Structure 1
Amino acid sequence: MFACYFISAIGMAGVGMGVMHDAVHGSYSKHKSVNTWVGYTLDMVGASSMVWHLQHNVLHHSYTNIDEHDDDINAPFFLRFSPNGQQNNLHKYQHLYAWFFYSLSTLSWVTAKDFIRFTRYYNKGLVKGGEKAYKRGIVKLIFLKLSYFAVVLGLPIIFSPFSVGMIILGFIMMHFVTGLVITMVFQIAHIVEDVNFPKADCEGVVEGERILHQLATTCNFAPKSKMLFWFVGGLNFQVEHHLFPDICHVHYREIAPIVKATAEEFNVPYYSKPHFFMAVLDHFKMLYLLGNAPKLESIKA
């Protein structure tokens, strides 16, 4: 049973990164309806494609690494992902305990986080259609969440010979694995030592051009690994993805040399780590710096 849940965890991560991600960006197919339906694979594994579109496509891609605007680095008080964020004494140890909370990320996602974020996005005016659309969205979230739990927990409880406690334990383990894998892949692309963390002025304006901003805030990893490329849906080529989010990930390996050569020609950043574990180590170091640096100026900002 635990082996099956572990395989499911790897499958969930693969579906999220290699299938849903392209679909919600509109790059899985040339047909909008196909992208919409394939995007529902995220709902099938417990999260919301509707909320993900707002959090990822709208906020993360528009405001990459900008504190209070990029929702990927808007963290709870015990985590600090930007040198422009508030610092407290707990952050001194975040390089040690952050990994545990990464493991909890999808468990939180399939329970409360989608509702919290959708409500916050509605209050920010990001939900088109006003109050009626917000209420419909909440009903849709409830229906899809109940459907997910009915299948993933309900059916095993009814039909399998295992106890309820064992099934719940397997379910939690599955999300621990999925959460750690997915969070690491996204974090090591943006929260590393090389990249920048631009700061908005008092009017919310960030100076610079969009393409240069994406190059300065994003880092590739393990570009030569075909196996990793397949598993993470090309997200090891984060630079290419952030420059061209409407291009399907299967083309990233071919366009990467062109992007790199162009960046070198114009003397602009093109960050890349040769190996996955080197990128993980760099993320570990960055978590330490963000928690222990005495001044914001001690970190590249």
Structure 2
Amino acid sequence: MNLQDFKFSRDKWQKEFTLALRQRVNDYFQTNNISKYANAAMVTKTVVLIGAFAALYAAIITGWVATPWLAILAWITLGIVTAGIGFSVMHDANHGAYSRNKYVNGVLGWVINLIGGFSVNWKIQHNTLHHSFTNVHGMDEDIDAGKLLRFSPEQEHLWFHRFQHLYAWFLYSLMTHMWITTKDFKQLFRYRNNGLLEQHSISFAGAFSHLLLVKVVYYAYLLVIPLVFSPFAWWVTLIGFLLMHSALGFLLGCVFQTAHVMESSHFPAADEDGNLEYNWAVHQLMTTTNYAPGNRLLSWFVGGLNYQVEHHLFPNICHIHYRKLSQIVSETAKEYNLPYKSLPTFREALRIHWRMLKTLGNGATVLPVAA
């Protein structure tokens, strides 16, 4: 099916919930006279993260680190900081949530190109497909990892999936290795073929030229320049670069998959006419899980993505506000007898995700949904 073939429910009760929730969130910002965009704390975080990235990069290419092992450690730390920039700065900007100024969002959103991705593809995959059709098989590419991983009960079950709860973590570490090599090119051709580029008024020729330029710049500054200027042997730089991406991919996989591939998650399927069971807002409640709401350090690093419910309901609001909004969302959901899924710790979220991978790997097609 195409995007336009799907129709969310128009159920009156769900519509009343959606309207009430939006009104209460709007009232929160108006009553407190605050902007839904970034505040001083968010700007400070942006400066800290980008500054840390620049400092680590400078240390690597100038030899400020004294030994090869410290250089490799600096590369791994660079991967962790890169994840923080992606979670916090780039993510909000590409949702138009960082600033009311579209040029600020454009510049900060373009940062994804400097950390291995491609902004054109990311916006289509994440903003359009994932946020519109969360956990819908065949539409949400976040639950489509090819044949190696089975993230959905509708996906074909293969014999080796019984081991996916063991090997998935290694595959997560390869995620951005795929970004910087083949994925972006395959994705761009796929979006051309299925009409998504045209729907977004994007020229394939222009996007392809842009993608080539992005990859050349990325490899030039993050691999070639360190190879040329680092005082250490070439293999130190190469190992460091590979480990940086392994750390980055592993963190991205753990943070995002624990929000949707969970025992409490629904995997809604449309009927033959494209009708979905829930309206868009309730769909997000049914398919999304929060975790570690009391862990402020984790929340700071992952850009509020431990509040995935709030992010999916209000992607155009800067994540710096999610902690406050979570009380409004949970209370409104309870009032309308709708689920609000939240786990106490990140460790618990990882444990349940592991168990869910095992369940899906054993071939389950009907899942026992936990509230």
Q: Secondary structure at the match of 2:206?
A: helix
Q: Secondary structure at the match of 1:158?
A: helix
> For residue 172 of structure 1, what is the aligned residue in structure 2?
242
1:218 deviation in Å?
0.1
1:165 deviation in Å?
2.1
> For residue 296 of structure 1, what is the aligned residue in structure 2?
365
Q: Secondary structure at the match of 2:188?
A: helix
**Paired amino acid for 2:241:** F
1:19 partnered with 2:89: yes
> For residue 86 of structure 1, what is the aligned residue in structure 2?
156
1:131 deviation in Å?
9.9
Q: Secondary structure at the match of 1:61?
A: helix
Identity of aligned residues (%): 45
Residue deviations 1:130-183 (CA, integer Å, cap 9, x gap): 998101111101101110110011111111122222211110000000000011
- Greater radius of gyration (CA): 2
> For residue 110 of structure 1, what is the aligned residue in structure 2?
180
> For residue 134 of structure 1, what is the aligned residue in structure 2?
204
1:10 partnered with 2:43: no
> For residue 214 of structure 2, what is the aligned residue in structure 1?
144
Equivalent residue for 1:219, pick from 274, 283, 289: 289
TM-score normalised over the length of structure 1: 0.96
Distance 1:203 1:115, change over 3 A: farther
CA–CA distance in structure 2, aligned partners of residues 119 and 172 of structure 1 = 26
1:278 partnered with 2:348: yes
CA–CA distance in structure 1, aligned partners of residues 367 and 130 of structure 2 = 25
CA–CA distance in structure 2, aligned partners of residues 203 and 173 of structure 1 = 47
Q: Secondary structure at the match of 2:143?
A: coil
1:204 deviation in Å?
3.4
> For residue 137 of structure 2, what is the aligned residue in structure 1?
67
> For residue 230 of structure 2, what is the aligned residue in structure 1?
160
**Is residue 289–residue 299 contact of structure 1 (8 Å, CA) maintained in 2?**
no
CA–CA distance in structure 1, aligned partners of residues 339 and 201 of structure 2 = 43
1:207 deviation in Å?
2.5
1:257 deviation in Å?
0.4
Equivalent residue for 1:249, pick from 319, 322, 328: 319
Q: Secondary structure at the match of 2:197?
A: coil
CA–CA distance in structure 2, aligned partners of residues 121 and 83 of structure 1 = 25
> For residue 271 of structure 2, what is the aligned residue in structure 1?
201
Aligned 1:228-267 pairs, distance under 5 A: 228-267=298-337
CA–CA distance in structure 1, aligned partners of residues 341 and 210 of structure 2 = 40
> For residue 124 of structure 2, what is the aligned residue in structure 1?
54
> For residue 190 of structure 1, what is the aligned residue in structure 2?
260
**Is residue 73–residue 82 contact of structure 1 (8 Å, CA) maintained in 2?**
yes
Ranges in structure 1 where 5+ consecutive residues have no aligned partner: none
1:229 deviation in Å?
0.8
**Paired amino acid for 1:53:** K
CA–CA distance in structure 1, aligned partners of residues 299 and 84 of structure 2 = 11
Distance 1:38 1:132, change over 3 A: closer
Residue deviations 1:29-69 (CA, integer Å, cap 9, x gap): 01111101110111111111111000000000010000010
CA–CA distance in structure 2, aligned partners of residues 284 and 90 of structure 1 = 16
CA–CA distance in structure 2, aligned partners of residues 297 and 45 of structure 1 = 38
**Paired amino acid for 1:296:** T
Distance 1:159 1:124, change over 3 A: same
| Coordinate RMSD, CA, aligned | 1.5
TM-score normalised over the length of structure 2: 0.79
Distance 1:296 1:129, change over 3 A: closer
Equivalent residue for 2:168, pick from 73, 98, 107: 98
Between the two proteins, the alignment pairs up a number of residues equal to 300
**Paired amino acid for 2:366:** E
Greater shift after overlay, 271-280 or 207-216? 207-216
1:203 deviation in Å?
3.7
**Is residue 215–residue 239 contact of structure 1 (8 Å, CA) maintained in 2?**
yes
